[in-house]
Amino acid sequence: MSRRTELDLTDPTTFVRNDPHDFWREVRRTRPVYWQDGNPGFWVVARHADVLACYADVTALSSAYGTVLETMLHGRDPAGGKMLAVTDRPRHRELRNLMQRAFSPRVLGAVERNVHRRAARLIETVVERGEFDFATEVAEHIPMNTICDLLSIPEADRPRLLQWNKLAVSVDAADADQIDSFEARSEIVGYFMEIAQHRRRVPGDDVISMIATAQVGDRQLTLEEVALNCYSLILGGDESSRVSAICAVKALAEHQGQWRALRSGGANVDTAVEEVLRWATPAMHFARTAIRDVEIGGQAVRGGDIVTMWNVSANNDEDVFGMPRRFDLTRWPNRHVSFGHGPHFCVGAFLGRAELRALLSAMTRSVTDIQLTGKPLPIYSSFLQGYSSLPVAFR
């Protein structure tokens, strides 16, 4: 066994200090489903076909115990059965039907128009400046404001929500205190409990009011359940889109031919969005718990075992993606799993795609040249991959 296949997948520094694609290439080739020892240990699933099968198998693999490895290694996720992402059927179906109302065409129409206006305004502003940090001056403002528009969050509250959210599942330094992430998650949930309590008492025409006053099954959600599901929308709506946007600009700066193709119409924005999502794969993994014995990729998994599906590997599987480490904005079909797969497919996928579409469209209209002007700063996380800073120049 080579040293590369002994990496500690629970260590937030692992994929900053090692080449993830080199590692996963070897894992797919030598042991595509393997057990990593630990307390507790867990299964690692690397191939695209096996990852899809795990996402689809809701009878053997449960989400209710948790879906993020860091949380599950410390016990069952306390949001299990309360938040959509960590709920099984039939409750999952009831919650999903409710949350999908937040993404109805009526609601999303106005939100999407605001996304395009905001992206165009931000890009025009930074082009005038020339050199800037794309992560902090553009990427931080599009997804967070978009999801806050959806939830009707006051403008004054948005900066602190962004700061909490940036700490919730990642940190900016290898030696950062992980307690900061726990405290940030608690602050977000506490904030939404206050908002939910107010909007249940004085409901308006907004998504939080809808969630807080809706009947789900035979009852209303508790204030904690409302808060947890709003937290899920903020976390998913901001983190994945922000990180994907940063990765998109970094990739375009490093692949000038692809940027020229996008500007000239040789690649269209819709296929470009899908390739950015595959290339970035912001959420490296999701996890499940086996609730009965099951076979995955030829390995016997016992009931009670944790199973991790590594999107970052599946999205670079040579059996599905020709030359996967080539950034190709014309790639089609593009069967990436960046939004998951099956019953837990991301409810905010449309909005995430709309944000990237707005950003890339604004850039093609206003930017002729992209150059990196400094070293990107990686984030440290066992769940999320990407950058917290990206110094660039737009001309």
Structure tokens at 167: 């700490």
Beta bridge partners of 283: 384
**Percentage of residues of the chain with pLDDT beyond 70:** 96
> For position 3, what pLDDT does the model report?
42
Distance CA 124, CA 363 (A): 9
Are 392 and 134 spatial neighbours (Cβ–Cβ below 8 Å)?
A: yes
Distance CA 162, CA 239 (A): 9
Distance CA 317, CA 335 (A): 11
Run of H or E residues at 378? strand 377-378
pLDDT tens digits, 230-253: 988 888 888 889 999 999 999 999
pLDDT, mean of residues 106-128: 92
Are 192 and 230 spatial neighbours (Cβ–Cβ below 8 Å)?
A: yes
> For position 2, what pLDDT does the model report?
42
> Read out DSSP for 162-220?
HHHHHHHS-BSSTT--THHHHHHHHHHHHHHHHHHHHHHHS--SSHHHHHHH-EETTEE
- Residue 171: pLDDT band with limits 50, 70, 90: low
Q: How many CB atoms lie within 10 A of CB 378?
A: 19
**Percentage of residues of the chain with pLDDT beyond 90:** 81
Range scoring the smallest mean pLDDT among 92-101, 249-258, 312-321: 92-101
Residue corresponding to tokens 């030829």: 298
Distance CA 361, CA 124 (A): 12
pLDDT at 168 over 90: no
> For position 17, what pLDDT does the model report?
94
346 vs 30, 102, 262, 316, 332, CA distance in Å? 31, 13, 27, 20, 21
pLDDT, mean of residues 368-395: 96
CATH T-level assignment (fold) for domain 3-394: Cytochrome p450 (1.10.630)
Distance CA 200, CA 222 (A): 11
Beta bridge partners of 389: 377
**DSSP summary character for residue 104:** -
Distance CA 252, CA 269 (A): 13
pLDDT, mean of residues 117-127: 97
b/e per residue 199-226 (b: at least 16 CB within 10 A): bbeeeeebbbbbbbeeebeeeebebbbb
Reported pTM? 0.93
Q: Which residues contact 237 (CB under 8 A, 6 or more apart)?
A: 143, 144, 146, 147, 150, 348, 351, 352
Nearest to 247 by CA among 284, 210, 286, 205: 284
Distance CA 225, CA 204 (A): 19
Nearest to 9 by CA among 30, 1, 34: 34
Distance CA 200, CA 153 (A): 15
Question: Residue ranges per domain, the chain?
Answer: 3-394
Burial of 37 (0-12, 13-18, 19+ CB in 10 A): exposed
Q: Assess whether the previous peptide bond of 333 is cis (omega < 30° from 0).
A: yes
